[in-house]
Structure 1
Amino acid sequence: MKRLLAISDIHGDLKKFERLLKLVQYNSENDQLLLLGDYVDRGLESKQVIDKVIELKKDGAIALIGNHEKMMMDAFQGDPMSLKRWYYNGGIKTLQNYGYDIAKDDAKFWYTTEEMPDLIEMNEEIKEHIQFLHELPYYYETDTHIFVHAGVHPTTLLHETDQHTLVWIREEFHQGYAGPKTVIFGHTPTKYLHNSPEVYFGKNNIIGIDGGCAYGGRLNCLEVESLKIIYVE
């Protein structure tokens, strides 16, 4: 039986990601890798992380979408507000990683101003990656577990849940979930769940694994069956 390994919220930190895969001795023949989204933004190597995810997916990994990938895709749909939202959530670093020159590269500025950015065109590299992101599912379910980026709605059937909810939900899920399956999720750094970088084991059958890598924290890997945690700082 293959080990189930779950990792979430890499946020452009390729070095930590590769160190973690090496530390857990990941082998696609023996392991099923589950990547729970947020590959991009805030870190310096989002493009390279997506390249790595594409490579791992070809080798059998299951990759889900996160809210930052959703913002990245929405930013090119022709709505200045969607681009602005991505700018102030870390998208500027991602665009610079793809070779874009952003005149006002201050995320805080875009959060506070009424000004709207000029729309931008996809270059070939980013176009290929966005096509890949559009193919990613929003959740993965087994007989015993649900793997998802942000969480599930406590009272809505999983297959009927709005995609926005699956990549953005927080407190309503953290406090209200009472389903029979264990939900493994990222999105909310664990320090906000229990004031610690440690993996969060909630009383209501939920496990949060976002160690805050985007903010200089940990990148966690959870061995699902044994509940063993391997991490890099």
Structure 2
Amino acid sequence: MTFISHTGNGRRFVVSDIHGCLKTFRHLLENRLQLTSADQLFLLGDYIDRGESNAGVLDYILRLKTENYQVYPLRGNHEEMILGAWQLHKNQMPPHIKFADRLWDAPDLLDATGELPDTYVAFFKSLPYFYELDNFYLVHAAIDFKHPRPFTDYSTMVWEKQFSYNPGPKIVVHGHKITPLPEIIKRVENRSLIIPLDNGCYYGLAKFRKGLFNFGRQKEVGNLCCLNLDTFELVVQENNE
């Protein structure tokens, strides 16, 4: 079990589902939060796909870690998918299936030879499925507390969208399922035992605003949400790509 203690006097922030929206992510951290190396930043997965700066988001996270920021990234289903595609590729997928075809929404991750750089592979492989804190569990999608061994049920942690049971006492903060902003605000204000943070940041991108990907309630989605675990302040950053 990956337990992270609260160090020093720094703040603790949780951010979910960045999906390649680098400008929005950087603005949130650098301008809204003014993140310092004393703070702890927890990221709930899905750093890639949908947006235009997938490699940029990964490079930024890796740079923060190199500069000794306390960054704790988790694995999301999109990281799980790209690792699966990479492993199939290395095990000789049929020749008509190109690895690049498995990255239809994040082609900028590939190098000039069409390969996934070792740096990204190592990063994806290093990602844990959840963190335990003093009063919280952090996970990408859900935790099945009815499972006989819930903290080994990794599939639920990255894929499950139906999450309605938490016996407590620790609060679970998760992403993965796009949740309207009023619902997120309500859960935070009530300090619910299950708090969703994914507000579909990428729906703020022009290519997702209309047509097939129209959420139907556009004013309630399209933001990158950040929760301060100590004050329960919710910082909502509109997509500004």
The one-letter code matched in structure 2 to 1:72 is I
Could you tell me the TM-score, scaled by structure 2's length? 0.74
**Does residue 222 in structure 1 map to residue 227 in structure 2?**
yes
Q: Deviations over 1:75-103 (max 9, x none)?
A: 1222769x89x968xx4131245357xxx
> For each residue in 1:204-229, what CA deviation from the matched residue of structure 2 results, as whole angstroms up to 9, or x when unmatched?
50111111112210001110111101
Distance 1:3 1:87, change over 3 A: farther
Query: 2:131 is paired with a residue of what secondary structure?
Result: strand
The CA distance in 2 between the partners of 1:140 and 1:57, in whole Å, is: 17
Aligned partners of 1:215, 1:177: CA distance in 2, in Å?
Answer: 29
2-structure distance, mates of 1:149, 1:3: 21
Partners in 2 of 1:143 and 1:227 — Cα distance? 15
Name the aligned partner's letter for residue 104 of structure 2: I
| Structure-to-structure mapping, 1:155-170, within 5 angstroms | 155-156=146-147, 160-170=151-161
2:183 and 2:23 map into 1 onto residues whose CA distance is 19
The count of residues paired between Structure 1 and Structure 2 equals 202
Q: Is the 8 A contact 1:150 1:185 kept in 2?
A: yes
Deviations 1:13-53 (CA, angstroms, capped at 9, x unpaired): 00000000021111122x11101110000101111101111
Among residues 102, 106, 119, which one is paired with 1:94 in the alignment? Answer: 106
Gaps spanning 5+ residues in structure 2: where? 1-8, 205-221
1:159-200: CA deviation from partner (whole Å, max 9, x where unpaired): 6432111111121x2x22223110011111112xxx747446
Distance 1:69 1:199 in 2: 27
Query: What is residue 130 of structure 1 aligned with on the other side?
Result: 121
CA distance in 2, matches of 1:66, 1:129: 14
Q: What's the TM-score once normalised by structure 1's chain length? A: 0.77
Report the counterpart of residue 28 of structure 1 in structure 2: 37
Paired residue type of 1:137: P
Aligned in 2, Cα 1:25/1:129: closer, same or farther, shift over 3 Å?
same
> Hey, what does 1:71 align to over in structure 2?
81
Name whichever of 215-224 and 176-185 sits farther off.
Answer: 176-185
User: How far 1:158 sits from its partner (Å)?
Assistant: 6.1
Give the alignment's Cα RMSD to 1 decimal. 2.7
Q: Which residue of 1 aligns with 2:53?
A: 45
The share of aligned pairs that are identical, in percent, is 36
Q: Describe the shift of the 1:150–1:38 C-alpha distance in structure 2 as closer, same or farther (beyond 3 A).
A: same
The whole-number CA distance in structure 1 between the counterparts of 2:133 and 2:15 is: 17
CA distance in 1, matches of 2:136, 2:40: 14
Indicate if the aligned counterparts of 2:141 and 2:176 stay in contact, CA closer than 8 A. yes
Distance 2:116 2:159 in 1: 28
Contact 1:190/1:198 (CA < 8 Å) preserved in 2?
yes
Unmatched 5+ stretches in structure 1 = 101-120
